[in-house]
Amino acid sequence: MSIESKNDQVRTTSEQREIERKYDIPEGAGEPELSRLGAGLRAGEPVTETLVAEYVDTPELAILDARCVLRRRTGGDDEGWHLKRPRSGDERIEVHAPVGAPRRIPPELRAEFADIIGERPVLPLVELTTTRTTTEVRGGGAWSAGGARGDDDALAALICDDVVHARVVRIGEERTLEWREFEVELADGASTRVFDEIEAVLFDAGLTPSVHRSKLVRSLDGVQPAQAPTGQGAAGDAVVFAIASRFGEFQEQEAAARVDAPDAVHQARVALRRLRSLLKVFGSLFEADAVASLAAELKWAGGVLGAARDAEVLRELVLAELDSAGQLEAPAGAVDLARVRIEALIADRHAAALASFRAELDGERWDALHDSLVSFVTAPPFTGPADRRALGTMRSLTRTAIGTVEKRTERARKKPKKLERWHDVRKAAKSVRYGYEAIDELPDATAKKQRKEWKRLAQAFGELQDASMLDEELGVLSEQLGRSAQEGESEKTGAEDRDAAAVLGELRTRIRARQNDAMRVARDALDDLA
């Protein structure tokens, strides 16, 4: 499996088999005397290093429930992202991906769980700092799985003496633990009989087989899968849950947007818009500086996606107009030529916007956006009101957002021909819609109806915004065609560009006539809701 990555290289995963066993050290146990290994096995000199790992999962622990582990580890000779899957007995398959940026899940590993994760967020769960003392066990020639190797100095196993410091970082579950354990991992090709010889020494010292299948499982002993918030719970927790859900949608769409999968750019941008709306409506539950900082980065990322999405919308709208061009005076041949020229111009614009998006996607600022979102969700900068009851508090804040719609509407009515003011009304209405969406998830019996009403209003103003944008963009395309006609390589191409520009002129006339109807529908929808 591979995806495009930085500098147009290909990032690939690698897979290896891992066979290991873990051992607990009960109170009163002694130190294993590894010098007593028999049957030709010899312990080398121990080497100590520090490993730091951040384990991730969905709030519902979907990955762990599938008996898998996903982590990012630094330190040691296998830095990177590790996905561990069970196979049988002591054997596991470990998939590696490059270490990348902290708190940014490699999409190729997230894709491994696409069926069970869906759009749920993958977030930090446990941080582990392990001081590991590793001892190589050699003499594996007699202990190969096939019994055929003659190298008496072959590596047979690694014995790891781990001192572990664990910190659970999931919101509502913060705690720390410390323990010491042993691991024995077989070398590639070694027989499982090596375990018998090493375990004889470990068990003689008082060690016992571990009751936990992994360090993560031991860290989470007693931690239950997260439950969806309710209206009776804390408002801060409910809003953080909504923010995390929107972040999961963004994570899911990000990789698809990179390769320009159908509708992926649009859905990634919608997820960012929903995140910004949640911060606008419920921002008073969090520290103002943290909200402002995160909102600014979300706006920037939305702008990065916006250019590519605007090109997609423009193409859809223009082609729809050309498909219904029966009322145009231009001959069919001119319309067909206009279609070809316009599609080429928009395709160039879309390609440039997508290239710019991909460059930003591989940049440090995009990495930092992921880190900021994760930090906001796992360590929310709550203010006092965050402890209030969710339903009442969120309804009150959404009513305040409705007040913003009313103020912007009053301002727009004073100068109704200024379309940018109506666009501000539309943005405020969208925030109210997404506020009710979060309330509906509590759930709440009336929020669904209100969400749908505000969605209809936002869509009505969206029609007006589309018509305005289309008029403006057709003007830009007409200018491009006009310049192309003057600079054309031949008289024929110049004539074709002039004909195409004429078609666009007719389209603009028709669209401008429709703008008044779109304005009337949007204002009627606003009056009905009021």
Q: Where are the domains of the chain?
A: 2-219, 235-529
For 186-217, give the DSSP string.
EPTTB-THHHHHHHHHHHHTT-EE-SSSSHHH
Pairing of strands 47-57, 155-168: unpaired
Which of these, 221, 504, 255, 236, lies nearest to 388 by C-alpha position? 236
- Give the bridge partners for 86, in sequence order: 92
**Tokens representing residue 501 in the block:** 């520009």
- Report the 3 state secondary structure along 20-56: EEEEECCCCCCCCCHHHCCCCCEECCCEEEEEEEEEE
Pair 397, 281: CB distance under 8 Å: yes
CB atoms within 10 A of CB 7: 6
Read off the pLDDT of each residue in 111-118 and give the average, rounded to a whole number. Answer: 88
Q: Distances in Å between the alpha carbon of 113 and those of 251, 253, 363, 451?
A: 13, 14, 26, 31
Q: What is the pTM of this model?
A: 0.87
Distance of CA 49 to the CA centre of its chain: 32
pLDDT confidence band for 429 (50 / 70 / 90): very high
Which of these, 43, 94, 99, lies nearest to 68 by C-alpha position? 94
Rounded CA gap, 239 and 258, in Å?
A: 29
pLDDT at 490: 52
**Tokens representing residue 219 in the block:** 């860290």
Whether the predicted pLDDT of 44 surpasses 60:
yes
Pair 377, 121: CB distance under 8 Å: yes
Of the given ranges (294-298, 308-312, 348-352, 516-520), which has the lowest mean pLDDT? 516-520
pLDDT at 151: 60
Which of these, 141, 134, 182, 142, lies nearest to 158 by C-alpha position? 134
Tens of pLDDT, residues 1-15: 233 333 333 356 778
> How deeply is 258 buried, as exposed, middle or buried, from its count of CB atoms within 10 A (0-12, 13-18, 19+)?
buried
Task: Show the CA angle centred on residue 190, arms to residues 187 and 195, nearest 5°.
Answer: 90
**Which element (helix H / strand E) includes 403?**
helix 390-414
Instruction: Say how many CA atoms lie within 13 Å of 323 toward its Cβ.
Output: 6
Region for residue 263 given its phi and psi (left: phi exceeds 0; alpha: psi -120 to 50; beta: otherwise): left
What is the SS3 assignment for 116?
helix
**Helix locations, 264-363, DSSP H:** 264-282, 288-323, 332-361
**Tokens representing residue 110 in the block:** 């997230």
Rounded CA gap, 455 and 468, in Å?
A: 20
- Report the 3 state secondary structure along 340-400: HHHHHHHHHHHHHHHHHHHHHHCCHHHHHHHHHHHHHHHCCCECHHHHCEHHHHHHHHHHH
**Tokens representing residue 469 in the block:** 């944008």
Rounded CA gap, 315 and 342, in Å?
A: 8
Pairing of strands 80-88, 10-12: unpaired
pLDDT at 502: 80
- Counting every residue written for the chain, the total comes to 530
The secondary structure of residue 226, as a DSSP letter, is P
So what CATH class is 235-529? mainly alpha
Q: At 523, which amino acid appears?
A: R
Pairing of strands 69-74, 2-4: unpaired
Rounded CA gap, 214 and 195, in Å?
A: 18
Tens of pLDDT, residues 266-322: 999 999 999 999 999 999 999 999 999 999 999 999 999 999 988 888 888 888 878
Which of these, 245, 281, 270, 262, lies nearest to 122 by C-alpha position? 245
Q: At 63, which amino acid appears?
A: I
Q: Distances in Å between the alpha carbon of 412 and those of 3, 282, 416, 425, 523?
A: 47, 25, 5, 8, 11
pLDDT confidence band for 488 (50 / 70 / 90): low
Rounded CA gap, 60 and 150, in Å?
A: 50
Whether the predicted pLDDT of 219 surpasses 80:
yes
Same fold, 2-219 and 235-529: no
Instruction: Say how many CA atoms lie within 13 Å of 444 toward its Cβ.
Output: 24
Which of these, 299, 303, 261, 300, lies nearest to 279 by C-alpha position? 299
Pair 186, 23: CB distance under 8 Å: no
pLDDT at 498: 77
Rounded CA gap, 3 and 130, in Å?
A: 31
Whether the predicted pLDDT of 525 surpasses 60:
yes
Distance of CA 44 to the CA centre of its chain: 44
Q: Which residue has the tokens 């009313």?
A: 406
**Tokens representing residue 119 in the block:** 């759009």
Q: Which residue has the tokens 């781990």?
A: 162
Tens of pLDDT, residues 358-411: 999 989 999 999 999 999 999 999 999 999 999 999 999 999 999 999 999 999
How confident is the prediction for the chain on average, in pLDDT?
Answer: 88
Pair 143, 191: CB distance under 8 Å: yes
Tens of pLDDT, residues 132-171: 999 999 986 555 554 444 566 789 999 999 999 999 998 7
- The CATH topology of domain 2-219 is Hypothetical Protein Pfu-838710-001 (2.40.320)
Whether the predicted pLDDT of 201 surpasses 80:
yes
